[in-house]
């Protein structure tokens, strides 16, 4: 009996010890299909140790390259450098995607700890004198090296990247740059966190059914479900999430409540409380001025745009100016038409921003016998997604196969395997489409693994599309708005850019391209969304299964230019605001409200329209990597309108044209200058005329 207890105690100790030294999933090769992340095994406690280990491992790899006694070559220095940090990248990719799509307080706390560590780690690499000396040595002998065009591109990008990161600065300036980078990383993180909390904390609780007048039944049902989920049973709740906010602004007859939800939306980050972002963004603007000057640039915009197609702030402003005057003219005409409708209804109030969506929807119904609710029954989310899958099949012969054996991080996530025309594996595609408290607003594409080639093996990518689309309600499936349909097509284009990637080096693959080029693959996909032949394939009524009728398609076509003045001016105003913040030359903190007001007054934005993103919640430029780059959406629209013209000329589903686009844009990554890549596809520089025609701005 005594012997039994000895063995029992030893077993208990062993079991306890094993639990204490549980293996971190990031330390293992992932025995999942295609090496997909084993989400069910990754715990919050695993991230910080994995980050620290990843940084330590990459530090050793860098030290080996920098300390190599052999003469610097492309292979032992530039190429070797591009493959370092594999462990850290794997950890960072999973963690970053979770903080965007499925975060909580614990993950946000880890992000605050890791952010300055990663900033220091990256600076340690880019400011390593020995490492840069080797890179510079290879750079100096570039003319005599026998390199492929992709290798030449990698050498150029690597050398420029180090110089732009401060490699040529003296020790004192390098130290100051480190501090700026650390501060910016923390401020950016805090800015985004505040906006997320703002998005989640507001709720418009309606108790009187009379206040729901004008709202479609599906919108009311969704609000009732939201209320029940938030502990307001028997009431209705509307939030700042787009599927809730936009329909309320479009249809709610209660003007006071429209003003309430609209004001809550545009005052995010600007309420003089713990979530106020004005001080944060003002400090970021100052630090960006200092960093640009430290690196030898006139402004932050000059620093950023050097790497973009636009090249200079002057070129961006000139481009925006070319569009602003006709767009503003059209917006004024739209505002006048809405005001006349208000008067015709017997009201005497002046059109305000919270009225715009409401009267736009009314006038569209009057002029074109069309409103959004006529279309929603045909836009079942799963059908729209299948429609874009089928479109990819028509253009490139690829297929998407749903996989139930791939781990997922949330029950609403679905995973598909992309196969090429010959049946070969191209990558994994995750979709995550509905809003929740732990998800950032908006829609985006990201990667869990990027494509590259290593030791002769083609490492295929794992990419995701994340959105905040309308949820299913009651017995109805998720029925999308036309804008949500176009957003799904848009983000799918980004996904294809990652999935079709066919490059050698990790840093040149997929969407690692100039900011004003990256939107071309996404925006060209939007062109097919409302094409009759494509619509007929996916726009099937959720109850009858009947395809969308030709009469409704004709109404969509007739209304295609409706409200384009508003859509263009609110976007362009945000682009100007971005550029104005980042062409500052003085390290002086400015009051964001005053600065923003002056920026918008300068361009003459009419009071009936509010800039698409006010500064305190402008995530793109203060926490999303688009600083000095928000203009890129419409810059890329010039490209996509011109590129789609090639399909119009050859046939909307022409395989040869699609093949060229895949080879020279979707698969090429950053292997050459973006204008060179575009001209290889199109045979000429892009023409702005198709864009002007599309938006009715001729």
Q: For every residue of 516-581, which 3-state class applies, written as one string?
A: CCCHHHHHHHHHHHCCHHHHHHHCECCCCCCECCHHHHHHHHHCCCCCHHHHHHHHHHHHHHHHHH
The residues facing 317 across adjacent strands are none
Burial class of residue 333, CB neighbours in 10 A (0-12, 13-18, 19+): exposed
Angle at 361 between CA 355 and CA 365, to 5 degrees: 140
Whether 578 and 631 have beta carbons less than 8 Å apart is answered as yes
CA distance 695 to 698: 8
Sign of CA dihedral 384, 387, 392, 395: negative
pLDDT in tens, 645-662: 999 999 999 999 999 999
Is 140 within 8 Å of 257 (Cβ atoms)? no
Helices assigned H by DSSP within 267-299: 278-294
Record the tokens describing residue 345, joined without a space.
């209804």
At residue 479, what are phi and psi to the nearest 5 degrees? Answer: -110, 120
Element (H, E) at 446: strand 444-449
Cα separation, 645 vs 682, in Å, equals 10
Lookup: tokens for 545: 């299964």
Three-class DSSP category at 252: coil
Euclidean distance between CA atoms 584 and 565, whole angstroms: 29
How many helices (H) and strands (E) the chain has is answered by 28, 9
CA separation for the pair 488, 486 (Å, rounded): 5
Q: Which residues contact 653 (CB under 8 A, 6 or more apart)?
A: 394, 395, 533, 647
What are the start and end residues of each CATH 1.10.1370.40 domain in the chain? Answer: 377-503+511-558+632-694
What are 256's two structure tokens?
A: 């006071």
CA distance 50 to 486: 38
Domain made up of 377-503+511-558+632-694: CATH architecture: Orthogonal Bundle (1.10)
**Coil vs helix vs strand at 179:** helix
**pTM for the full predicted model:** 0.95
491 is catalytic: yes
d(CA 436, CA 102): 8
- Compute the distance between CA of residue 510 and CA of residue 28 in angstroms, rounded to an integer: 26
pLDDT value, residue 7 = 44
User: pLDDT value at position 8?
Assistant: 45
Q: Can you list the residues of the chain whose pLDDT is less than 50?
A: 1-10, 12-20
Backbone angles phi, psi at 418, to 5 degrees: -95, 130
> 622: which 2 tokens?
């203060």
How far is it, in rounded angstroms, from Cα 166 to Cα 180? 12
Largest CA distance in the chain: 97
Q: Measure the CA–CA gap between 515 and 512, rounded to whole angstroms.
A: 9
Which residue reads 């009759």 in tokens? 532
Beta strand 457-459 with 425-432 is unpaired
Q: What angle do CA 378, 383, 385 make, to 5 degrees?
A: 125
3-state secondary structure 655-686: HHHHHHHHHHHHCCCCCCCHHHHHHHHHCCCC
CATH topology for 33-168 is Glutathione S-transferase Yfyf (Class Pi); Chain A, domain 2 (1.20.1050)
Residue 21 confidence (pLDDT):
57
Out of 61, 198, 491, 596, the active site residue is 491
Q: Which two three-digit tokens encode residue 574? A: 């945000």
Residue 50 and residue 518: Cα distance in Å, rounded?
A: 31
> What does the alpha-carbon distance between residue 547 and residue 535 come to, in Å, rounded to a whole number?
8
Size (the chain), residues? 698
DSSP assignment letter at 473 = B
Helix or strand run (H / E) with residue 453? strand 452-454
Specify the fold of 278-370+565-622.
1.10.1370
Q: What is the pLDDT of residues 171-209, one digit of tens each?
A: 999 999 999 999 999 999 999 999 999 999 999 999 999
Rounded CA Rg of the chain: 26
pLDDT score for 440 = 95
**Do 230 and 238 meet the contact criterion of CB atoms below 8 Å apart?**
no
Q: Which two tokens stand for residue 129?
A: 């004198």
Q: 452: which strand partners?
A: 459
Q: Quote the tokens at residue 383.
A: 């059908």
- Name the 3-class secondary structure at 380: strand
- For CATH 1.20.1050.40, list the domain ranges present in the chain: 33-168
Q: What is the per-residue pLDDT for 203?
A: 97
Burial 302-324 (b: 16+ CB within 10 A, else e): bbbbebbbbeebeebbebbeebb
- Looking at residue 696, its pLDDT comes to 87
Tokens of 16: 């306890």
pLDDT at 22: 75
Q: Is 363 helix (H, G, I), strand (E, B) or coil?
A: helix
Q: What does residue 205 show for φ and ψ, rounded to 5 degrees? A: -95, 120
Q: Tokens standing for 636?
A: 């890329």
Q: How far apart are CA 588 and CA 283, in angstroms?
A: 9
For the purposes of burial, counting CB atoms within 10 Å of the CB of 94, is it exposed (0-12), middle (13-18) or buried (19 or more)? buried
DSSP state of 614: -
Q: Indicate where the chain has its CATH 1.10.1370.10 domain(s).
A: 278-370+565-622
Beta-carbon contacts of 94 under 8 Å, excluding residues fewer than 6 positions away, are 37, 39, 42, 448
379: CB partners within 8 A, 6+ apart: 479, 480, 481, 482, 484, 485, 539
Report the 3 state secondary structure along 41-104. HCCHHHHHHHHHHHHHHHHHHHHHHHCCCCCCCHHHHHHHHHCCCHHHHHHHHHHHHHHHHCCC
């Amino acid at each position: 009996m005594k012997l039994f207890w000895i063995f029992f105690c030893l077993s208990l100790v062993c079991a306890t010890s094993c639990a204490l030294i549980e293996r971190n999933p990031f330390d293992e090769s992932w025995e999942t299909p295609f090496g997909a992340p084993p989400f069910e095994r990754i715990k919050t406690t695993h991230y910080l140790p994995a980050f620290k280990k990843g940084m330590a491992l990459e530090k050793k790899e860098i030290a080996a390259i920098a300390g190599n006694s052999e003469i610097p070559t492309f292979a032992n220095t530039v190429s070797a450098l591009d493959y370092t940090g594999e462990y850290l990248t794997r950890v960072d990719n999973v963690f970053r995607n979770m903080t965007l799509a499925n975060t909580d307080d614990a993950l946000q706390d880890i992000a605050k700890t890791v952010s300055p560590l990663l900033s220091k780690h990256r600076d340690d690499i880019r400011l390593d004198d020995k490492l840069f000396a080797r890179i510079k040595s290879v750079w100096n002998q570039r003319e005599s090296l026998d390199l492929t065009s992709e290798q030449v591109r990698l050498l150029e990008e690597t050398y420029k990247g180090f110089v732009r990161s401060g490699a040529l600065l003296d020790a004192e300036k390098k130290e100051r740059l480190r501090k700026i980078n650390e501060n910016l990383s923390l401020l950016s993180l805090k800015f985004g966190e505040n906006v997320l909390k703002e998005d989640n904390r507001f709720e418009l609780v309606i108790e009187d059914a009379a206040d729901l007048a004008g709202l479609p039944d599906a919108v009311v049902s969704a609000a009732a479900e939201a209320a029940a989920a938030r502990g307001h049973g028997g009431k209705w709740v509307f939030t700042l999430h787009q599927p809730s906010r936009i329909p309320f602004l479009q249809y709610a007859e209660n003007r006071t409540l429209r003003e309430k939800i609209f004001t809550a939306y545009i005052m995010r980050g600007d309420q003089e409380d713990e979530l106020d972002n004005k001080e944060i963004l003002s400090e970021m603007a100052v630090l960006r001025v200092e960093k640009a000057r430290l690196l030898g640039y006139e402004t932050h915009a000059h620093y950023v745009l050097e790497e973009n197609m636009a090249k200079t702030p002057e070129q961006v402003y000139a481009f925006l100016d070319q569009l602003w005057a006709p767009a503003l003219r059209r917006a004024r005409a739209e505002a006048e038409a809405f005001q006349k409708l208000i008067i015709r209804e017997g009201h005497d109030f002046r059109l305000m921003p919270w009225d715009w969506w409401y009267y736009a929807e009314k006038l569209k119904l009057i002029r074109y016998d069309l409103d959004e609710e006529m279309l929603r029954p045909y836009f079942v989310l799963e059908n729209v997604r299948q429609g874009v899958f089928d479109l990819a099949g028509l253009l490139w012969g690829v297929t998407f196969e749903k996989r139930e054996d791939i781990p997922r991080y949330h029950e609403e996530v679905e995973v598909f395997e992309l196969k090429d025309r010959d049946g070969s594996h191209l990558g994994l595609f995750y979709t995550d489409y509905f809003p929740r408290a732990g998800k950032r607003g908006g829609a985006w594409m990201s990667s869990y693994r990027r494509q590259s080639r290593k030791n002769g093996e083609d490492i295929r990518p794992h990419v995701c599309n994340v959105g905040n689309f309308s949820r299913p309600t009651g017995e109805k499936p998720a029925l999308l708005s036309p804008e949500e349909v176009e957003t799904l097509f848009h983000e799918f284009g980004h996904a294809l850019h990652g999935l079709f990637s066919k490059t050698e080096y990790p840093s040149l693959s997929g969407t690692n391209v100039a900011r004003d080029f990256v939107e071309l693959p996404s925006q060209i996909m939007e062109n097919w969304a409302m094409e009759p032949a494509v619509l007929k394939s996916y726009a099937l009524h959720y109850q009858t299964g009947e395809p969308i009728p030709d009469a409704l398609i004709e109404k969509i076509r007739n209304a295609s230019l409706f409200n384009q003045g508003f859509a263009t001016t609110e976007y362009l105003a945000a682009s100007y605001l971005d550029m104005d913040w980042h062409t500052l030359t003085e390290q002086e903190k400015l009051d964001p409200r005053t600065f923003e007001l002056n920026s918008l007054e300068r361009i003459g934005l009419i009071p009936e329209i509010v800039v698409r993103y006010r500064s305190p919640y402008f995530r793109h430029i203060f926490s999303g990597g688009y600083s000095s780059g928000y203009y890129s959406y419409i810059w890329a629209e010039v490209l996509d309108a011109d590129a789609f013209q090639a399909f119009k000329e050859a046939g909307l589903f022409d395989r040869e044209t699609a093949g060229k686009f895949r080879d020279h844009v979707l698969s090429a990554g950053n292997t050459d200058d973006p204008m060179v890549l575009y001209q290889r596809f199109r045979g000429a520089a892009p023409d702005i005329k198709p864009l002007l025609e599309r938006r009715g701005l001729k």
